[in-house]
DNA sequence: CAATTATACTTAGAAGTTCTATGCAAACAA
DNA sequence: TTGTTTGCATAGAACTTCTAAGTATAATTG
């Protein structure tokens, strides 16, 4: 369903500022107009992978309420990966625009 | 690399008219400006899957030169899957536009 | 005409990705 | 105090894509 979009999506959300798993899921839900409702089992393994690759970093923090949260932050490395992913997405988007425009024109 | 884009891409190419594996690979290469160079091992299994699901149908034909080719054709079923995929893509595209615009504006 | 290249399809298995399902635990609300 | 929300984690299933190899024929090149 998401395909190659997961990673740019997560990195983009983190580019808005550091965040934690639960909040990222909600942010994605809000920004997609309730279309994307990720489960934890989807997000966390990806976050772990991104951290392992050095795109993001994590740190435990305790909120005033006493809750412990693991905050993720975009690293420079991840910044450039995101830039490449944006490029990639836009390039795919152009291909589709071309294909779909052609079909409209050929009516 | 391709993620969820493979299926709409193939279906879109077939919407241009029926085609066969080898040519589809070339069409994808051309339309992407040499960015996407699929291997047979990537395309054929997907074609088989799409046929099994009833989105496309295939038939062997022999060209004047004597070569045998397996032509694939988009079915009505596949037509509506493609429409749904287009919708899905555009919706993801909107999400990214929103995320990426915000970042430009917030400089 | 022999060797190479281009055309054309197939599949097994590896690798990678995402989802389902479940578990744990603490704070909060009823 | 019982249920809901918040919060993280992971195993295994399911699915997708890629690598690699095999088969076969037509066209081209030397």
**Which single residue has its CA nearest the C1' atom of nucleotide C17?**
A3
Look at residues B74, B93, B94, B71 and name the one whose alpha carbon lies nearest to residue B4: B93
pLDDT tens-digit profile, chain B (107 residues): 566 789 999 999 999 999 999 999 999 999 999 889 999 999 999 999 999 999 999 999 998 888 999 999 999 999 999 999 999 899 999 999 999 986 666 55
Separation of B91 CA and D17 C1' (Å): 24
Instruction: Please indicate whether, in this complex, the C-beta atoms of A9 and B98 are within 8 angstroms of each other.
Output: no
Which tokens in the block code for residue A94? 């152009």
CB B75 within 8 A of CB B5: no
- In sequence order, the β-bridge partners of residue A73 are A57
Domains of chain A: 3-105 (1.10.10.10)
Separation of A10 CA and C26 C1' (Å): 26
């Amino acid at each position: 369903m998401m395909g190659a979009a997961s990673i740019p999506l997560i990195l983009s959300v983190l580019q808005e500022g550091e965040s934690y798993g639960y909040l990222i899921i909600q942010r994605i839900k809000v920004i997609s107009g309730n279309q994307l409702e990720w489960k934890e089992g989807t997000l966390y393994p990806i976050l772990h992978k991104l951290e392992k690759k050095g795109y993001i970093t994590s740190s435990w923090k305790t909120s005033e309420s006493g809750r412990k949260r693991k905050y993720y932050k975009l690293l420079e490395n991840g910044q450039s990966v995101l830039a490449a992913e944006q490029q990639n997405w836009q390039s795919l988007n152009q291909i589709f625009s071309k294909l779909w425009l052609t079909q409209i024109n050929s009516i």
